[in-house]
A and B are shown apart, each in its own frame.
Chain A
Amino acid sequence: MKPIEQHLVQPLIDTFKNKQIYVHLETTNGAYATHTDQTFHSAGAFIRNAQVEFSQGKLTGEGPFRVGLKMELGWIYAEGLTDFEIDEKGRLLLAGHNREGKLAIALELSEHPF
């Protein structure tokens, strides 16, 4: 993956606009967070292959970045994104890696199911 740059990634998001696409979205602080620090409230969410269509998709922030996708009936957003890649299947992979290089969030868009 490469560090996100506004002028590179915004056009990639736009290629998925106004199409039936599949979304992978996850946030995680790891299954051991509360084991390591008992005061830590562990929380995360995971959705894979949600079929959606958005009419507007925006990359914002100075880094780490945010992405918001406006749908007919709702929203999808992700924050803390740092890196991106178009993989060999043409999918847009966005990820947020923390200082230790661990994945904290992933937002991925694909025209075909993951």
Chain B
Amino acid sequence: MDLLLDGFATALTPENLLFATIGVLLGTAVGVLPGIGPAMTLALLLPVTYSVGADSAIIMFAGIYYGGMYGGSTTSILLNTPGESSSVITAIEGNKMAKAGRAAQALATAAIGSFVAGTIATVLLWIVTPQVADIVVTLGSPSYFALMVLALFAVTAVLGSSRLRGFIALFLGLAVGLVGTSTGQARLTFGEPLLADGIDIVVVAVALFAIGEALWVAAHMRRKPLEIIPVGQPWMSKEDWKRSWKPWLRGTAFGFPFGALPAGGAELPTFLSYATEKKLTKHPEEFGHGAIEGVAGPEAANNASAAGTLVPLLALGLPTTATAAIMLVALQGYGFQTGPTLMDDHPDLVWALLASLFVANTLLLIINLPMAPIWAKLLRIPRPYLYAGILFFASLGAYSVNFQAFDLALLLVLGVLGFFMRRFGIPVLPLIIGVILGPALEEQLTTALKISEGDVSTLWSEPVAVVVYAVMALLLVAMAVTGVRKPAAEEPSLSDTPGNNDDKELVER
């Protein structure tokens, strides 16, 4: 409790409050703009961490993370173009509500629901994270190795619609993670001394998120503008409140546990929340025509799951979303040892982050309710200006890592890779997580094998490891069974076929 109060003391200093405000404003802005998400923003802002204190940078990043979630719902509702994958479900009912002239209520239930869910989830985070960390600290390398394998497996195979594409991305990521001489011998360096230190994750992240996206937009420059629904100040009637509060709570209950699992992801809980509300509603006739429950539930679920993903991040050092992955990179950039010991070694930083989530959430509600119409104006920015700025910061960021021009060449090569991944619907998330977790995975494996003096059976010598492998086996079996029963499910879904990607502006957060 003292730690929490200390955290608030840190988060509420004028300087950090300013960084939190910048964070939520920036986060909402990038959330509103489809194609630019919090992950890209964080990647572009990583150089900032060189000159700003660790607590301020992390607080700003937390603000961006939460803000992105708010902004995404605005675009979903007003434009029917979800800014990010977690807002897809919101768009279904939200846009219908807006078309029926209830945009203000849809935005209000999304914003207030996000606040309620974010607050509850943040409190849960305060309770759960230290306990998980206490348990995880006692685990040995074999268990830790198993958990990482599970996270990689889950992010690749469970999330996303195409397993093949997921694994392509994962192996690309693991391959990029191999480059360098960290093990003593040179791997995949092609005799190039500049590659000896490995490819910096900042370059990879900036290239995939910023350069890949910019190239994609450049290739699809002129498109018919979307028809936006004008909106005033968001507000809700008593009836709307009555219909919203239960979905908010149920959405939170779905979102947090899913986020907290090492599998992560907001797609599943938002979808489950939507299905539940559809079943429980007293107004089934409204579903499909703009039911407020269908906005309230999923919006609460995606914010709760965003908070939930911080549990594996802080307690295990396992990122399960792209944004969490970049936050991990930032922490490592400050020289912190991420993993189960983070909470013991740097309680001040972790609790400042946890407290600032609460602050960011409150700021978002205060700032965003009155400002919804202004955010919608951001969508009018001509893309050439926007992406010129993004490319500038991307190049600056990549160059400032090592101050060598070689990184810019790498940036371009990986950016082109990002473009083609986008073209063929290959998800970015497994790649990023692969680059980050690959080396860590290898380290745990080496440690485990060193202790056991090369005996491979050590990998399943700990109960936790056995349970994790059992869970993975179950998931595999379940996937195989559903695959056999419904071969049609193997077909790429509509939203995933390259031909349809023109309309797809989703980013992974």
User: Do A and B associate with each other?
Assistant: no
